[in-house]
Each structure stands twice: as C-alpha cells, then as structure tokens.
Amino acid sequence: MDTRFAISSYPDATVITKKLDDLIRLPIYSIGRDAMAVYEQSYFDQRCPRSKAMIKEAKQYIPGGVQHNLAFNHPFPLVMTKAEGAYLQDLDGNQYFDFLQAGGPTVLGSNPPFVREKVIELLQDGGPSTGLFHEYEYKLAKKVCESVPSVEMLRMFNSGSEACMAAVRVARLATGKKNIIKMGGAYHGWSDQLAYGIRLPGTKGLQAHGVPSYLFKHTQEFFPNHLDALERTLRRNKLRGGTAAVFIEPIGPESGTRPLDLQFNKEVETLCRSYDALLVFDEVVTGFRIGMSGAQGYFGVSPDLTVFGKVIAGGYPGAGGLGGKSDAMKYLSAGIQSGVKIHKALVGGTMAATPISCVAGYYTLEEIDRTDACRKAGRMGDRLTLGLQKLIEAYQLPFVAFNQGSICHLETVGTMHFSINWKKPWTIARVINETARRKKEMEYMGSAYMAEGLVTLAGSRLYTSAAYDEMMIDQALEAFERVFSHVTCIKD
C-alpha cells in the first residue's frame, strides 16, 4: 500500500475543538466596515466591471446568478476565464491564487498540460462518448483498485452525490437491513435521504427543504467523535430493522472542519464489525488528496464501500465512483436484470464513466502517483497554515487555523462549529440566527481575500495543490496579512 501521505502531523482534535468552542463564544471579528466599503468600490466596482455586468445579466436567466454553491461571492461573483496551475484569471484580467481548486479535484493544480493533452488526443480519436465500453474505464478502475487496498471493484458515476446514493442501495441489499447512520454535520451529497444532519450536527431534517420528513425514517445521525452515541444508535437499530451502513467523512464533517480524533475511524470500524453494519468511507474529498491509498490508508481502516468524487476525474466532468469489496459490489447491477438469483441495485447514468472522465481520471492518478503530488500539496498546506497561525498571533485575532495536509481551514467566525440540541428546542432559533449572521461575515472575509487576489472556498477553507511552491505560498500569506490588518471587532 502506498504510504506517502499529505498529512505530516495529525491535528489534535481536542485542542482545536476547544479553540473553536472559544471562538463561537466571542464577539465576531471581521473585516472593518470602512475597509469593506473601500474593497467594494476600489476593487469590485472599478477593477471588475465586466464580471459585474455579466452577473447582472445572468441573474435574469439563472436563479441567484450562479450555478455553483461555492461560486457565490459578495458583492457579486467573479467570472473566471483562465485557470493554470495555482492561478486563476477573471474576465477583467485580474489574477488570483487559487485555493478553491474547483472545490477540491485539482491536486495537480488547474489544467495540467499532461492530462489535457491525453484528453484532447482521446477527443480527436473517438469523441466524448459512445455509450459503449472504453479502454480507460478499465484502466481507471484497475488503477483505483491497485491504489486503495479495500477497493476490489469500482463503478463510475456522474458525481459524488450519485455515488453516495448508490452506496445506500448497495448497503441495504448487501445486509438486508434498513437504517443508515451518518455523522452529524457531514455532507454526502444532496440526495433526499442523505440531506439529513447537514452542515451542523443535530439539524436532522432542518436543512432539507422540499424533502418529506418520512424519507428520513431510516436515516439517523450521531455527533462527531461521540462513539457512545454511535453505539447507542446501532444498538437501538437492532430492534428496528438493523443498520445497513455507517457513513463517515474520514477527516471529519465538511472535509475536516470539525476534526476527528486520530483513533476515531478505527473505533467506528470495530463498532461496524460488531453490529454487522457496512462501513462506508466517503472519500470524495480525501481520495487521492490525502494519499493514493486515501484517508483509509492513513488511518489504517478497511471500509466495505468507498465513495469517490472530485480527484477521480481530475477536475473533468463525471466525477463520481463507488468502490469496495466484491462481496458488496456484486449487488450493483450491470444492465437491466431478469431472473437473477440475487436482487441487485439498478443504477445508471447516460454520461457516467465517459471516456473523458476516465481518461482524465486515469492520467491524473498516474501523475499524482508519479510526482508524489499529495505529499507536495500537503507540504504547501503545512506552510500556509503555519503562516496563517503566525499572522493570527501577530494580529491578536481569535481565528483558528489548522490543516489535514492540503486541506486547510481558516475559521474566523466558526459558523460550522455550532450544533443543535433538541433537548433545548428554544435554542434552535438562536443557533439559526447566529450562524446566518456569522456566515454573512465569512462572505465579507471571502470577498476581502478575493480583492487581495486570493480565491478561497467560501472564505474559510483553502485547498493547496502541487502547483504551489514556497514562494507562492509566502506571497499569498502577504495578501492574507493585508486583509488581517483591516480586521476589527464587529459591534452589533
């Protein structure tokens, strides 16, 4: 198994959780209102007029003016035209350091020429799709199986959400049981049945507008790091249909925004084994980013099913896959069934496993492997995080910075650190109001970073790639410092 991991030292979840607990008790520190007004005028209005005009038009045709949740930005989203390595360029010709990385897929940096050339070659030969088998379906599946020891077979999907949906079905068929347990706050795509306990632990169906509550009859959540709560739920489920699977984001909910104790995953694995539930690792973010063998390689865990997304198609469309042990994967059908002895899950996708996603995924994984890209990106994440921690100290801010390799967190308001306690229902409205207020400040911070040439994920997460070098990280830190110098305590 490949043991080159992006994480050089695992963050102490207890220490970080304590800091985040303190952060959400403090008043909000954010970009000063005067500085924000200057950014809005001198940057967004004066230097981004073409983006502004295009978004104004787009709002007539696209709800909210953007198609992608992560592209939302105050005071308006910027239109990107070029992406190369660690840089992005907008319609008005402004350049940025890219710490969003399309939401995670581009461990090699944007648009690496080696992968692009292979995609163009393929397009010239056979076009984007035929609906029939292509050699790269096999090559990618083999590469994934060789890289991730628990994965004996792989099926590609259009997205991580679809692959999670398939995992639910396979788990129920393989175990003959009903219930799915997930960690509160974790994200497993936007399908109806998994739209439960999203963003904040304890929210149950509160974020699932448009989903009838009966769909959650067999979905439950437990709080991160609370093994006792998980075991209680597993025990209770024995009397009501059993547990088909426990879904885990292995570095913690929302890509490690709430970090997990180092031993947590192993302990979840032991619990799953003793209750005969399948363990599903959602490695949509961590797969081929934490290392070629995934977060499961790092934690030494062997899940039954693994969900892939993002890096598996190298930033190209069709980024979803479900891998796992043959015993479970045999419950996925290939083609419409008739007269088979075991019931299989009918899943599909006209555009799943297209030659484009498979060729891009295959050469991306080969290149990550060849160049030790996960570790390089991780070292850049370490340097960025350390630099941010020093700035936080120098400016005496209550912010919290930590990283799991190339996944870096810069928590300025701790929005995602709240949770809902149903034993105190009168607090729910307070949590909802407080998180909304803090999210607004996070957007302001995100837009200040943007005006200083830094594209972040929603103003609080930063992905580094192997396209960065030390000098670029240091330049980015100078830009962060300019923003921090305008931060002040926000009075209500």
Binding site for ligand PMP (CB under 6 A): 103, 159-161, 164, 187-189, 249, 255, 282, 284-285, 309, 319-320
Please identify, using beta-carbon distances, which residue of 40 and 249 lies nearer to ligand PMP. 249
End-to-end C-alpha distance for the chain, whole angstroms: 53
Q: In the complex, what is the shortest distance from the CB of residue 367 to ligand PMP, in angstroms, rounded to a whole number?
A: 21
- The span from the CA of 112 to the CA of 84, in Å, is 7
- Scanning the structure block, which residue is given the tokens 């050339």? 117
> For residue 400, which of 83, 44, 11, 100 has the smallest C-alpha distance?
11
Q: Which is nearer to ligand PMP, 312 or 374 (CB)?
A: 312
What's the residue count for the chain?
492
Whole-angstrom distance, CA of residue 390 vs CA of residue 357: 40
Residue with the CB atom nearest ligand PMP in the bound state: 160
**β-bridge mates for residue 463, sequence order:** 407
Q: State which residue, 51 or 404, has the beta carbon closest to ligand PMP.
A: 404
- Residue 224 or residue 320: which is nearer to ligand PMP going by CB? 320
Q: How far is the CB of 71 from ligand PMP (least distance, A)?
A: 13
Cα-Cα-Cα-Cα torsion 107, 191, 245, 416, nearest 10 degrees, comes to 60
Residue (188 or 383) nearer to ligand PMP, CB: 188
State the Cα–Cα distance between residues 135 and 122, nearest whole angstrom. 11
Give start and end residues of each alpha helix (H) in 203-345: 227-237, 253-256, 264-274, 294-299, 326-329
Closest CB 285 distance from ligand PMP, rounded Å: 5
Q: Nearest-5° angle of CA 162, CA 248, CA 172?
A: 60
CB of 283 to ligand PMP, least distance (A): 8
Q: Specify whether the CB–CB gap between 327 and 302 falls below 8 A.
A: no
Instruction: In angstroms, give the least distance from the CB of 77 to ligand PMP.
Output: 18
Token representation of residue 137: 């379906």
Instruction: Rank residues 68 and 423 by Cβ distance to ligand PMP and give the closer one.
Output: 68
> 313 or 374: whose CB is closer to ligand PMP?
313
Quote the least distance from Cβ 380 to ligand PMP, whole Å.
20
Shortest reach from residue 333's CB to ligand PMP, in Å:
22
